Amino acid sequence: MKICGDYHMHTPLCGHAVGLPSEYAERAVEVGLKEIGFSDHAPLIPHPDPKITMSFEQLPFYHAMIEDVRARFKKLKIKIGIEADFLPGFEHETKKILDTYPYDFVLGSVHFIGKWGFDNPSERAGWNAQDINRVYRDYHELLRQSAKSKLFDVMAHVDLVKKFGNRPTEDITEEVRQTAKAFKESGVVIEINTSGLRKPVKEIYPSLRDLQIYCEYSVPLTFGSDAHDSLHVGKDFDKGFALAKKAGYKEYVIFKKRKIEKVIKL
């Protein structure tokens, strides 16, 4: 495998992932990765839920746990990241959480439109009451606000709204272009997230069409499996790699201390 970094991996601290970080690291070695980065769910400020994210009190343990694996797996580079929600109106509190401990990278995610967790299986019925075109537009507006907030380094799964297979009937290309432009201007990176292949949509995030637009705007790229189980580590990276090339990407990046450490040829 050519891709060396899987930057999207969870731990049981978020309440919905299984397996110890050491098992994820073992799996990474097994599938031939040279580098991984943990990025568990950061505390949700307005509506904490132990089944969705870590709590603020768990953060020191999260760091200690990753430091421990790092010390034991000398052949594997292990970075520490975190996946934080973009919650409009809570930017200040989010920044405080992200500034409390050092990270190699911060993934920014839009999982909520207002209070609606649109990708949460238990809130899937919420789609029935929605205008899908509107959801896509609102989602993109939140992506742009996330980038402009300067809270994040990498925007995660940038077309997560398609998770359950709900598709817009209008052409939203212009929305994606605006988002790509905002990402470029804010200096955020995107990820190819292979977990979509394991979801009802059965497609990598983002789609080839969207990825071509991000490539056109020169938005750099990382890779992530969004592993919630050690068996997901590096999963379908061959497909992700092929998609990146097809979209026109020639390289991807890895992070250290919240800066691009290296640009690597695909």
Shortest reach from residue 119's CB to Fe ion, in Å:
7
| Cα(162)–Cα(207) distance, integer angstroms | 10
Question: Rule CB under 5 A: which of 46-105 touch Fe ion?
Answer: 83
Among residues 120, 111, 130, 203, the alpha carbon closest in space to that of 165 is found at 203
Distance of CA 121 to the CA centre of its chain: 18
> Terminal CA-to-CA distance of the chain, rounded, Å?
11
| Cα(181)–Cα(29) distance, integer angstroms | 37
Contact predicate 211/244, CB 8 Å = yes
Shortest reach from residue 14's CB to Fe ion, in Å:
8
Q: Exactly one of 213, 226, 247, 254 binds Fe ion (CB under 5 A); which one?
A: 226
Shortest reach from residue 168's CB to Fe ion, in Å:
21
193 is a contact residue toward Fe ion (CB under 5 A) = no
Which residue stretch of 25-33, 132-140, 214-222, 225-233 sits at the interface with Fe ion (rule: CB under 5 A)? 225-233
Question: Rule CB under 5 A: which of 100-159 touch Fe ion?
Answer: 109
* Nearer residue to Fe ion within complex by CB, 144 or 163: 163
Neighbouring residues of 135: CB distance < 8 A, sequence distance ≥ 6: 113, 118, 127, 161, 166
230 is a contact residue toward Fe ion (CB under 5 A) = no
For residue 106, the one-letter residue type is V
* Nearer residue to Fe ion within complex by CB, 9 or 243: 9
Cis? peptide before 206, omega within 30° of 0: yes
* Nearer residue to Fe ion within complex by CB, 123 or 248: 123
11 is a contact residue toward Fe ion (CB under 5 A) = no
Shortest reach from residue 44's CB to Fe ion, in Å:
12
For binding to Fe ion (CB under 5 A), which residues are involved? 83, 109, 226
